[in-house]
């Protein structure tokens, strides 16, 4: 038996035929067409899925299910997607529409949740029964696995790690609240903190690396300068690590998973990030003598979306 | 079949024979004797359990299991209790010791977790599949039920809601960290905020109610004065409600349970507390159009510890 996993993105839709161990047997993809009506978008996805299945050499009879990860809120119970802003979807009946093309079980969930599931099936957290996946990108997303199964909450809006409160009355967030975790633990946060510091320390290596234009600072610029020992970059880096460690401690206090998996663009900093986080987290441990969750980097990269979507059930 | 639930407290140990629906059929209890060696303490508990079972009219053959809720960290997998400060226990093999007296399955968990389980079996959250129980007392504790089962974490230290970070670099906590949730959402927090306000507003009704001695302020004093419309008390009350609402929002962002259950001493304020929390939480909702978790007051009171311990499995 095989499954199809669909990674729905704002610019492209990637999919793959996946075996029960989470190996991608065949890939396919189409460009995202937000200009088309929703039923047309689904028809194009379904056509690509049929084509990819055929190219994999597997039949419709061998297809167990289809799963999709979407960059928004997905109600796994009803198959409805209440919000998916990048795709222009509001309250679209994804499952119902997709089943017009495939008489198979159709599963949906949030893209970060799906990536977390992928890591727990075929990636760094494989073999664990509880994990929290944290995507550190423009924002902060999350995927929770408990008892080997995805937990997306009773209303499909769980694992929105980025919008946990990390500071009462803190930095304003795009969601309308203040002090959300992603204001302190995302690439966006690193850039904001770097720009603030550059006003006081224009002599920082960060400024050199961004050709004297703070508008061009990226998280990577700060990490690169920090690696070189630039004091301003190190200050930003250490603050970021401290905030991330407190966020991890906060999630541990509530959920205490077996393992944390760090993914997303910021995680490309690799061991420079991982070593610093691993060193900082124990400082905030509630019970210093008890074992702490492991912390690892995500392994599956861009394929996680396809693999995890296929594994939904 | 029946089960025995044991509620281990620092001053007394209450227990009961409980039926599968969570009804207490017979109660028993002993005084906590921290002066005795651990095996002696367990022997006394076991003797009381045998006596209570006999008085219930049920036989050992009808006894399915024994569960205990302890005010500390309990490792449900190993049956070991790493920390239970009030009892003076450190790394005690509770299950192993208890099984010398009862050849039955012995389960342990944290007392707040157990109280949350009780509410989800026989209390206000009965019939729900996911719930977060929050005890608002001297500190803040929690109990998480997901998919109908208790979730205490991979290392038995989950649902320590009180030690989630709510404010970076915030109020110092007894745990050694800063800005822990219980510094803002407990009776202790209400008292601290009230004393701070009394320095600026000694004319507050709070001062009258505590006979002019701020050392005698309790959470109830502040609630009583707030009910009377005292501006200083209302200021403290509203800040407390705002912090609690942000804490609930934070847990919702991560876990999105079907229901929150508020217990502990502070919850005795009843609808005055509940109405205010229910009105405040939606202000912080991430998705204003989607359903939010219900919020209710705990119903089982002091019996929750016995009922929930009996339901452990």
The CA distance from A252 to B99, in Å, is 31
Whether A15 has a pLDDT exceeding 90, the answer reads yes
Closest CA to B87 of B119, B110, B105, B114: B110
For residue B160, how many other CB atoms are within 10 A of its CB?
A: 28
B199, B202, B204, B207 alpha-carbon torsion, rounded to 10°? 90
Residue for token digits 């005690």? B92
Spatial neighbors of A109 by CB under 8 A, at least 6 apart, are A67, A68, A69, A70, A74, A76, A117, A150, A152, A156, A309, A312
Smallest Cα distance from A261 to chain B, Å: 15
DSSP structure class, residue B233: H
The CA distance from A74 to B16, in Å, is 44
What pLDDT score does B83 carry?
A: 87
What are the distances in angstroms from CA B13 to CA A119, B10, B220? Answer: 44, 8, 27
For residue A111, name the pLDDT band (cuts at 50, 70, 90): very high
Whether A289 has a pLDDT exceeding 90, the answer reads no
Interface test with B, best of A253, A258, A260, A295 (most B CBs within 10 A): A253
B94-102 LR contacts (CB < 8 Å, sep 24+): B94/B42, B94/B68, B94/B70, B97/B38, B97/B39, B97/B42, B98/B42, B98/B45, B98/B46, B98/B66, B98/B68, B100/B42, B101/B42, B101/B43, B101/B46, B101/B47, B101/B49, B101/B50, B102/B46, B102/B49, B102/B63, B102/B66
What pLDDT score does B125 carry?
A: 97
| B-chain residue closest to A83, CA distance | B287
| Partner-chain contact B256 A163, CB within 8 Å | no
- A149, A257, A284 member nearest B154 (Cβ): A257
Smallest Cα distance from A287 to chain B, Å: 8
SS3 labels along A135-176: EECCCEEEEEEECCEECCCCCCCCCCHHHCECECCCCECCCC
The CA distance from B80 to B90, in Å, is 9
Whether A159 has a pLDDT exceeding 90, the answer reads yes
| B-chain residue closest to A162, CA distance | B253
| B-chain residue closest to A282, CA distance | B177
What pLDDT score does B148 carry?
A: 85
Residue for token digits 């049929």? A50
**Averaged pLDDT, A155-171:** 94
Superfamily of the domain at B128-297:
ATPase, nucleotide binding domain (3.30.420.40)
The CA distance from A216 to A232, in Å, is 16
Closest CA to A109 of A309, A303, A307, A300: A309
| B-chain residue closest to A281, CA distance | B177
Residue for token digits 């693999």? A307
CA B238, A182, A127 angle in degrees (round to 5)? 115
Q: Please give the share of chain A, as a percent, with pLDDT higher than 90.
A: 91
Smallest Cα distance from B126 to chain A, Å: 15
**How do residues A209-231 score in pLDDT, each as one tens digit?**
999 999 999 999 999 999 999 99
Smallest Cα distance from B136 to chain A, Å: 15
- A146, A163, A290 member nearest B155 (Cβ): A290
**How do residues A63-87 score in pLDDT, each as one tens digit?**
999 999 999 899 988 999 998 888 8
What pLDDT score does A148 carry?
A: 85
Q: Architecture of domain A127-297 in CATH? A: 2-Layer Sandwich (3.30)
- B146, B253, B292 member nearest A164 (Cβ): B253
**How do residues A252-278 score in pLDDT, each as one tens digit?**
999 999 999 999 999 999 999 999 999
Residues of chain B with pLDDT under 50: none
| Partner-chain contact A157 B252, CB within 8 Å | yes
What pLDDT score does B231 carry?
A: 98
CA A108, A112, A117 angle in degrees (round to 5)? 70
**Averaged pLDDT, A275-295:** 94
What are the tokens at B60? 């050992």
**How do residues A21-69 score in pLDDT, each as one tens digit?**
999 999 999 999 999 999 999 999 999 999 999 999 999 999 999 999 9
| A-chain residue closest to B289, CA distance | A82
- Name the segment(s) of chain A with CATH classification 3.30.420.40: 2-121+303-311, 127-297
What pLDDT score does B86 carry?
A: 84
Give chain B positions within 8 Å (CB) of A175: 286
What pLDDT score does A98 carry?
A: 97
Give chain A positions within 8 Å (CB) of B159: 254, 256
What pLDDT score does A5 carry?
A: 98
What pLDDT score does B191 carry?
A: 97
**Averaged pLDDT, A269-292:** 94
What pLDDT score does B140 carry?
A: 96
The SS3 assignment for B292 reads coil
Please measure the distance between the N-terminal and C-terminal CA atoms of chain A and give it in whole angstroms. Answer: 14
Contact B300, B119 (CB under 8 A): yes
Domain A2-121+303-311 sits in CATH at 3.30.420.40
The CA distance from B133 to B190, in Å, is 20
Smallest Cα distance from B55 to chain A, Å: 39
- Name the segment(s) of chain B with CATH classification 3.30.420.40: 2-121+303-311, 128-297
B203, B204, B210, B215 alpha-carbon torsion, rounded to 10°? -80
Contact A221, A206 (CB under 8 A): yes
What are the distances in angstroms from CA A266 to CA A106, A138, A186, A244, A294? Answer: 32, 9, 8, 12, 19
**Averaged pLDDT, A275-283:** 97
């Amino acid at each position: 038996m095989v499954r199809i996993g669909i990674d729905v993105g704002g610019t492209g839709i990637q999919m793959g035929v996946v075996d029960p161990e989470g190996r991608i047997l065949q890939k396919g993809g189409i460009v995202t067409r937000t200009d088309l009506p929703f039923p047309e978008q689904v028809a194009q996805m379904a056509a690509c899925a049929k084509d990819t299945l055929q190219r994999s050499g597997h039949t419709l009879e061998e297809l167990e299910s289809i799963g999709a990860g979407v960059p928004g809120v997905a109600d796994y119970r009803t198959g409805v997607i209440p919000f998916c802003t990048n795709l222009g979807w509001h309250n679209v009946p994804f499952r119902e529409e997709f089943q017009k093309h495939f008489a198979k079980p159709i599963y949906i969930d949030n893209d970060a949740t799906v990536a977390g599931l992928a890591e727990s099936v075929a990636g760094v957290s494989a073999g664990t029964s509880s994990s929290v996946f944290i995507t550190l990108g423009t924002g902060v997303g999350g995927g929770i696995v408990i008892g080997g199964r995805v937990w997306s909450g009773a209303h499909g809006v769980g694992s929105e790690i980025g919008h946990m409160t990390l500071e009462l009355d803190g930095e304003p967030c795009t969601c309308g609240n203040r002090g959300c975790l992603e204001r302190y633990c995302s690439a966006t946060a690193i850039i904001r903190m770097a720009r603030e510091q550059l006003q006081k320390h224009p002599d920082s290596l960060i400024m050199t690396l961004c050709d004297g234009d703070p508008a061009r600072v990226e998280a990577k610029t700060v990490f690169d300068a920090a690696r070189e020992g630039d004091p301003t970059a190190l200050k930003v880096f250490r603050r970021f690590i401290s905030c991330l460690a407190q966020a991890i401690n906060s999630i541990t206090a509530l959920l205490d998973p077996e393992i944390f998996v760090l993914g997303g663009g910021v995680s490309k900093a690799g061991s420079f990030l991982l070593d610093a986080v691993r060193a900082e987290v124990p400082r905030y441990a509630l019970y210093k003598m008890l074992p702490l969750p492991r912390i690892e980097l995500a392994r599956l990269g861009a394929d996680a979306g396809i693999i995890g979507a296929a594994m939904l059930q």
